[in-house]
Structure formats: C-alpha cells, structure tokens
A = this chain, B = another copy of it.
Amino acid sequence: MKKHDLASGSNDEGSGRRRQILEIAAQLFAKKGYRGTSMRDIGEQAGVLGGSLYHHIKSKDALFVELHNAALDAAESSILQAIRPHDEPWARLTSACATLLDIQLAPDSRTMPMMNDFREVPDAVREQLVARRDRFEGVFRSLVADLPLPPHIDRSIYRNLLLSQLNSASDWYRARRLSPGQIAAQIVSIFRHE
C-alpha cells in the first residue's frame, strides 16, 4: 500500500521519476498543506526514504514553489484557451470562471489548496508565490475591465471578490448537489449587473 507501482522500467527514468515525485508531492500538499506535509510523507508515498528525495529536488521550499507555479501556468493557459472563442465580455468572464472552478473543484485538484496557504509558508516562499499569483490575476483584471458594469461598482473590489470566490469554492463544496459548471453559472449570475 505504500509504493506507487507505476511500472517504470523505461529508459528515461531520471525525469520520469522526478515527475512522479512532483505529482505525489502536489497531492500531499493539496490535502495536508505545506507544513502538514513532511519530506518523509512524500518519500513514503514514493517508496523511498525522505532523504533520498534530495537527489531530485533542491529543497522543500523550492519543490513547493515549482508545484505552485506549474499549477498556475496550467490554469492560466486553460483559461486563455477557454475565453479565446468568445467576444462578448460576459461570455468571456463566464467561460473563465467555469474553467477555473473546474480546476479548483476537480477531485484531485492541485491548484487551489496552494493559493490560500500563504500564511503557512516561509517568508521567502511567500514572496515568490505572491509574485506569480499577481501575474495570474492579470487575466481577470482584463476580463473585468471589459465588463459594462454600473458606475457605482469598484472594479478592483469586484475582481478581488470574484477571485476569492473562485479560489475558496472548494472550502464549502462538500455536497455534490451541483456540478462545478452549475456553481460557476450561479456565481456569474450573482456577479452579473449591467
């Protein structure tokens, strides 16, 4: 029960093994948080001792930052692809929200749990996380800028509210009454004003 037995007798073991370890680490970080996941935990799932992981990674900090940034890269490109076919501002926002929610609420999501972890992480790590997240949020800044909103709504607040909504959805998404797509529709319908 302790080893992942992906038959990996293939040649390019070096990087394949590394990817496998990253995958395991991502799941553990997502489930237990940064401080709640020890290198020994990761090693156990990978079938090696904690110390052995340091042949593949430089440090726990660097591992976490790498996973976090890769998750945001993937999310960002999915969203950009999803909004491309749409022209109408509300349609663009809706597809972006649905895509992000799909990622956050996926049963094995590895993005979300890392985005609210900022207080659990060493200062040096947090700085890198914040920098990458700011870039990610630029996509939404531009989507919100294009909306025909009533003048009394502050767009900066609006964007922050929308994003914190999407990012924290998994906190209360226990009951599977509605699908991620339906949740996204509800969110947009609440945030929709003109």
Give residues in A with beta carbon < 8 Å to B.
31-33, 35-36, 113, 116, 118-120, 152-154, 156-158, 160-161, 163-165, 167-169, 171-172, 177-178, 183, 186-187, 189-191, 193
A64 to B191 CA separation, bound complex (whole angstroms): 36
| A169, chain B: closest CB distance, angstroms | 8
Q: Which of B32, B33, B113, B186 contacts A154 (CB 8 A)?
A: B186
Q: Could you list 15 examples of A-B contacts with CB < 8 Å?
A: A33-B119, A33-B120, A36-B119, A36-B120, A116-B116, A118-B171, A120-B120, A154-B186, A157-B178, A157-B187, A161-B190, A164-B168, A164-B172, A168-B168, A190-B191
Once the chains are docked, how many angstroms separate the CA of A38 from the CA of B32?
Answer: 19
The answer to whether A190 and B119 touch across the interface, beta carbons within 8 angstroms, is no
Option from B31, B35, B153, B156 in Cβ contact (under 8 Å) with A120: B35
A168 surroundings in chain B (CB, below 8 A): 116, 164, 167-168
